[in-house]
Structure 1
């Protein structure tokens, strides 16, 4: 028997988040290619600036997903791993503390932190030969973090949708 709960629809904010995250990764790639060709470092700076709207969109999605996860699990949910555990319909009958989160959450978090660290080092080493190295490392981390973030956002949004109250088509 399916259980339906009146939840916020987080798909739109999830799609916006994924789009902005992908844009940050694409801009990072473009900036690094430009760096390899001896171009301006302002392209890499633009990737840092684009992170702000992506972060805002992610926070809006995350607040909705956290709200939904608490409604589904009737349990205090704050971390991404807890949102996953609460949202996974396959684990609905398993006690919350025994549920398993996605193994991709930690790699996503580490890739994101590595990207930020490389961005900081890249900014500090702006006019040195090491700049291009950290620009490239930052881009590789950005690609990994963006791919994992988009997968997690999409998967959590779709899992939560399975618990939502079905609406009649007009």
Structure 2
């Protein structure tokens, strides 16, 4: 007998999230390059404007994958680590508490936090020589965070898609 878990399709919100996050990171780099050349801070404003739709798309994706992860694992799921542990088909037979999350999650979280802190310091140091230093650090952290979260989004979406496929029940 085939079993089927009815899951939300998270591919569209995942692709939208990755695209918008990549756009924010690219704009951050472009704004930093303009800062090096003494350009205007309007590029920084554009990054802030792009962060809102990227954040909304990511939250919609995350809402879908947490719903799916709860349906897969029959366990309360609230964090990215729990989503990974619930969604990983390789660990399907391992008790939930003993499953291992992706090693990419912590570096992504730290890179994102470093980006936000650099952005705050960049804003506070707007008319000083340190502005360009923190602008550059923020752009580098944005690239790392965007790359890592993009990988995580695609991996979780693919893992959950495997659960949406009918599979043979051994019983």
TM-score interval, smaller chain:
over 0.9
Quote the Cα distance in structure 2 between the aligned partners of 1:14 and 1:157: 7
2:169 match? none
Quote the Cα distance in structure 2 between the aligned partners of 1:139 and 1:78: 29
1:143 match? 143
1:59 match? 59
2:132 match? 132
2:104 match? 104
Aligned to 1:127, the other structure's residue is in SS state coil
- Which 4+ stretches in 1 moved above 2 angstroms? 1-4
2:77 match? 77
Quote the Cα distance in structure 1 between the aligned partners of 2:132 and 2:19: 26
C-alpha distance 3-91 of structure 1, shift in aligned 2 (>3 A): farther
Q: Is the 8 A contact 1:44 1:135 kept in 2?
A: no
TM-score using structure 2 length: 0.94
1:25 match? 25
| Structure-to-structure mapping, 1:29-48, within 5 angstroms | 29-48=29-48
Q: Mean alpha-carbon deviation: is it higher for 77-86 or for 2-11? A: 2-11
Q: Is the 8 A contact 1:86 1:96 kept in 2?
A: yes
Count of residue correspondences: 166
Quote the Cα distance in structure 1 between the aligned partners of 2:147 and 2:141: 10
2:121 match? 121
Q: Is the 8 A contact 1:3 1:163 kept in 2?
A: no
Q: Determine if the alignment matches structure 1 residue 92 to structure 2 residue 58.
A: no
Specify every segment of 5 or more residues in structure 2 that has no aligned partner in the other structure, as ranges.
Answer: 167-171
Quote the Cα distance in structure 2 between the aligned partners of 1:3 and 1:159: 17
C-alpha distance 120-2 of structure 1, shift in aligned 2 (>3 A): farther
Quote the Cα distance in structure 2 between the aligned partners of 1:127 and 1:48: 19
Quote the Cα distance in structure 1 between the aligned partners of 2:151 and 2:2: 25
Aligned to 1:163, the other structure's residue is in SS state helix
C-alpha distance 2-47 of structure 1, shift in aligned 2 (>3 A): farther
- Report the alpha carbon displacement of residue 14 of structure 1 after superposing the two structures with TM: 0.2
CA RMSD of aligned residues (A): 1.2
